[in-house]
Amino acid sequence: MPPEIEFRLCFHDTRLIEDSPEQVTVEGRFARFTIANLTPGLLDALRLLIGRDAMGQTIHPIGVSETTLLELVSEGHFSEALRLKAYLRRFEEAGMLARTLWLYGPKATALPVRPLTQQLAPMDAEAERRQRYVLSRFACIRRERRRMIIESPLAHARIMTDSWEIMQLLGNVGNITDHPFPFDFQARKALTRLLYDAGLLTSIRDDGRTEEDTDEGLKQWSFHDLRFLTTSQNPVEVASDNQPAPVVKPPMSANIVELFKPNIEQLKQHDKPFTWVLEERRSLREYGEQPITRDQLGEFLYRSARIKEMLEGEPYDASRRPYPSAGALYEQELYIAVQECVDLAEGLYHYSPLHQLEKLDVPQAMVETLMSSTPLLTGKADFTPQTLIIVTARFQRLQWKYGESALILALKDAGVLYQTMYLVATAMELAPCALGAIPDANSVMSTAGIYRYIEPVIGCFLLGSIA
């Protein structure tokens, strides 16, 4: 490459701890290395990667070419250059090195998001000349502050750029190496190499299909599902330094309905055996002539979702409830849409885990519209729901601690809540049915003052009297 086109390296999310003049520790998100028997040249090279000069002063812009690093250490002995190359390879495999494409200035940077679990085949000169590539169908481009991010669930690195020339190239759906472009051919090759090494490209076969299109594993995945799967499997990334929302959501209404509280100690002695409950559990969509009663609903909610104990203190307030939850944070909120319930008026209620209902100011016609659309989602349209439990998630309860893993954790929490409600309903001889699809409750919930992006609906559960 011409001297003005090069790749510059620097550590990313990595600390350099100088234990002694002859030993350092390199600590990243995914790995930790201790390097002993340091030569002055090797120590200076590591300092440059962290953004410090030989005197320990911060330098800008951060980033240094591999050639410069090797020249720095090879002044001492050739073997030190080989040693540095080996460490650079290990750093890259461990997701510690960012790589910036430098074309008369920084144009695009590859930031690692996970360690390299599988080495890509190197792109040799012949491959660069004859092989065609296209952006992966799993790649997406989004804005983050003033920069654009190119990422893919298949990639081990994301590309960050504020260069309009690079965005123009990415806008081409065809062959990325042949597209007319403001940069010269060598610059286009360098960008192709950066995208390829990040795992954002797929090769085009002779028959016009891409390697991704013919991969038996990838063919079954949509963009959204694969992104969700891989995002949820990433290590925890803290979203903010904010404290979580309160354990108990502030009251939503002054119209309080007190609920029946069963005697748990008596239930421990006389309730149906656990194995019987487990074996008899099933989804039921047929109800008895007598609707579910307010006392039955109260007992069901008490046994399924009440707060058993408040846990106050560091690092955050939490609680204990009948079902488990990530970090004991319990982000779920329950809303009860009532159409038929003895001793309980029709309408929409919020269940406080302190064990009471709060009646919300929502027109009954909206509740009826919601309930009438629900049977179709069960595959059985000829029944009238008695109550519908709408499960939402206050994501801020999770996101401050678990970052991008919040959604998958909320769905897991909803799953264990479902099973708990199924078992309680079976023990009480009620008719439970979780919904795989979620009815459009947004109009009802927004009328009740629930903003869908702060507290989205993640599940629904029908409950009634048993036939």
Q: What is the tens place of the pLDDT at every residue in 154-194?
A: 999 999 998 887 787 775 544 555 555 556 667 777 888 88
State what percent of residues in the chain have pLDDT above 70.
87
The whole-angstrom separation of Cα 241 and Cα 166 is: 34
Token pair for 410: 């909320």
pLDDT of 443: 83
The whole-angstrom separation of Cα 352 and Cα 334 is: 8
The whole-angstrom separation of Cα 49 and Cα 99 is: 11
The whole-angstrom separation of Cα 351 and Cα 302 is: 10
- For 290, the 3-state DSSP assignment is coil
The whole-angstrom separation of Cα 148 and Cα 301 is: 47
DSSP calls for 390-415: EEEE-THHHHHHHGGGHHHHHHHHHH
- The DSSP letter of residue 241 is S
- For 347, the 3-state DSSP assignment is strand
Range 256-465 classified under CATH 3.40.47.10: no
pLDDT of 76: 58
pLDDT of 106: 84
Count of other CB atoms within 10 angstroms of residue 193: 17
Domains 1-104 and 256-465 agree in fold: no
Among 200-209, 298-307, 341-350, whose mean pLDDT is lowest? 200-209
Q: Can you give the three-state secondary structure of 43-109, one letter per residue?
A: HHHHHHHHCECCCCCECCCCCEEHHHHHHHHHCCCHHHHHHHHHHHHHHHHCCCEEEEEEECCEEEE
pLDDT of 189: 79
Sign of the alpha-carbon dihedral angle for 29, 35, 39, 42: negative
- Domain 1-104, what fold? Outer Surface Protein A; domain 3 (3.90.930)
Domain ranges within the chain, ordered by starting residue: 1-104, 107-233, 256-465
* Residue bearing tokens 């250490």: 73
Q: What is the tens place of the pLDDT at every residue in 438-457?
A: 877 888 888 999 998 899 99
Q: Which residue has the higher pLDDT, 133 or 148?
A: 148
The answer, yes or no, to whether residue 406 has pLDDT greater than 90, is no
pTM attached to this predicted model: 0.78
Residue type at position 47: R
Helices (H) and strands (E) in the chain, counts: 15, 21
The answer, yes or no, to whether residue 54 has pLDDT greater than 80, is no
Token pair for 89: 């390879």
* Residue bearing tokens 């009954």: 364
Residue type at position 36: A
* Sequence-distant (≥ 6) Cβ neighbours of residue 127 within 8 angstroms: none
The whole-angstrom separation of Cα 275 and Cα 315 is: 38
Q: Which residue has the higher pLDDT, 6 or 306?
A: 306
Question: Backbone phi, then psi, for 260, in 5-degree steps?
Answer: -65, 140
Sign of the alpha-carbon dihedral angle for 111, 116, 122, 127: negative
* Residue bearing tokens 């106050």: 312
The stretch 102-128 carries a mean pLDDT of 74
- The DSSP letter of residue 258 is E
* Sequence-distant (≥ 6) Cβ neighbours of residue 315 within 8 angstroms: none
- The DSSP letter of residue 218 is G
pLDDT of 236: 46
